[in-house]
């Protein structure tokens, strides 16, 4: 599977997850078999003022993670162009967020708000394509609300703007994360356009990922929330959860810039969701240092 010149080794994609996708988390997903890694969304206004060294440190992408899609969020053409130029050197693919439903971003016309302003969306995507040689992608929802499901039209616009790959979260903005994912629209999008389509929404296991691929005919499948709890969802084989968590901490200590015990405790707590223990795992948040968190996990 290729996106532009970028080779994708398999059909499973790690979704962008703001507040979750630190370097160690992305690396653990990669070690477990994710074929394409997205960074979390990055605000174009924040990134465009940074030096190349700061951008490099901020993204902190390791070679073993590649290929990596760097996701941007913004609605202002000049800032977007500057942001593309800032991340280009470090990204294999550059993505525009067209699905975020956070109020602060919607107010500024970013994310899912662009589903209601197609001329603006088209101008932004064309500006990205004109700015970089790297493949550009877009991550959309299927529409604003049930009365305005325009996923197929948006996907056609995205393709015509010169974008190389599109991912589709099968919900409207109005739905947030509730209700069922609409895979019929994903299939219709796949049937109407030629660029690769990534299906996204509610995949809870490797096999349910395969079944979403079958139902929709899409080329790739993207996993978000299940990966937060199970970065091993990208592989079929059962894993030792404790070993996975210890590996996460090891990667974090080796590669992460922040070295924050709070961040490690968050991830450990999320990954312990399916671990059988009589301990109250919330208590991991009370631990003050990363080595103490490691000892806590070993004792479980």
Ligand X SMILES: Cc1cc2nc3c(=O)[nH]c(=O)nc-3n(C[C@H](O)[C@H](O)[C@H](O)COP(=O)(O)O)c2cc1C
- Could you list the residues that contact ligand X (CB under 6 A)? 15-20, 40-41, 71, 97, 99-100, 139, 169, 200-203, 223-226
Distance between the two ends of the chain, CA-based, in angstroms? 41
Closest separation in Å from C-beta 33 to ligand X: 16
Nearer to ligand X, 36 or 294 (CB): 36
Closest separation in Å from C-beta 289 to ligand X: 26
DSSP per-residue letters across 168-229: EEEEETTTTT-S---HHHHHHHHHH-SS-EEEES---SHHHHHHHHHHH--SEEEE-HHHHH
The residue from 22, 29, 100, 230 that is catalytic is 100
Q: How far apart are CA 21 and CA 37, in angstroms?
A: 10
Closest separation in Å from C-beta 144 to ligand X: 16
List beta partners, residue 32: none
Determine contact, residues 9/209, Cβ cutoff 8 Å.
Answer: no
Determine contact, residues 152/189, Cβ cutoff 8 Å.
Answer: yes
Residue nearest to ligand X (CB): 224
Element (H, E) at 295: helix 290-299
Nearer to ligand X, 134 or 139 (CB): 139
Nearer to ligand X, 90 or 296 (CB): 90
Establish whether 110 is a catalytic residue.
Answer: no
Closest separation in Å from C-beta 298 to ligand X: 28
What tokens were used for 5? Answer: 């010149």
Nearer to ligand X, 80 or 294 (CB): 80
Positive or negative, the CA dihedral 235, 100, 202, 153 is: negative
Supply the residues annotated as catalytic.
100
């Amino acid at each position: 599977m290729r996106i532009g010149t970028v080779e994708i080794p398999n059909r499973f994609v790690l979704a962008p997850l703001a507040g979750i996708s630190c370097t160690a988390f992305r690396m653990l997903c990669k070690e477990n078999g994710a074929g394409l890694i997205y960074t979390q969304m990055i605000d174009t206004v924040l990134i465009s003022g940074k030096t190349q060294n700061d951008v490099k440190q901020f993204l902190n992408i390791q070679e073993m993670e590649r290929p990596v899609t760097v996701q941007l969020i913004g609605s202002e053409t000049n800032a977007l162009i500057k942001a593309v130029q800032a991340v280009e050197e470090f990204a294999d693919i550059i993505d525009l967020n067209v699905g975020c439903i956070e109020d602060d971003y919607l107010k500024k016309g970013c994310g899912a708000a662009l589903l209601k302003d197609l001329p603006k969306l088209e101008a932004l995507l064309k500006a990205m394509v004109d700015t970089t040689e790297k493949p550009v992608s877009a991550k959309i929802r299927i529409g604003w609300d049930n009365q305005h499901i325009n996923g197929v039209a948006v996907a056609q616009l995205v393709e015509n703007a010169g974008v190389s790959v599109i991912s589709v979260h099968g919900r409207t903005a109005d739905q947030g994360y509730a209700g069922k994912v609409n895979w019929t629209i994903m299939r219709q999008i796949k049937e109407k356009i030629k660029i690769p389509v990534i299906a996204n929404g509610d995949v809870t296991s490797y096999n349910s990922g395969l079944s979403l691929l079958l139902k929709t005919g899409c080329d790739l499948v993207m996993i978000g929330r299940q990966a937060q709890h199970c970065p091993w969802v990208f592989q079929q084989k059962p894993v030792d959860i404790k070993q996975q968590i210890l590996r996460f901490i090891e990667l974090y200590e080796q590669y992460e810039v922040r070295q924050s015990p709070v961040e490690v405790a968050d991830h450990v707590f999320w990954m312990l969701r399916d671990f059988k223990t009589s301990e109250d795992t919330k208590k991991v948040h009370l631990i003050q240092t990363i080595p103490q968190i490691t000892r806590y996990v070993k004792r479980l």
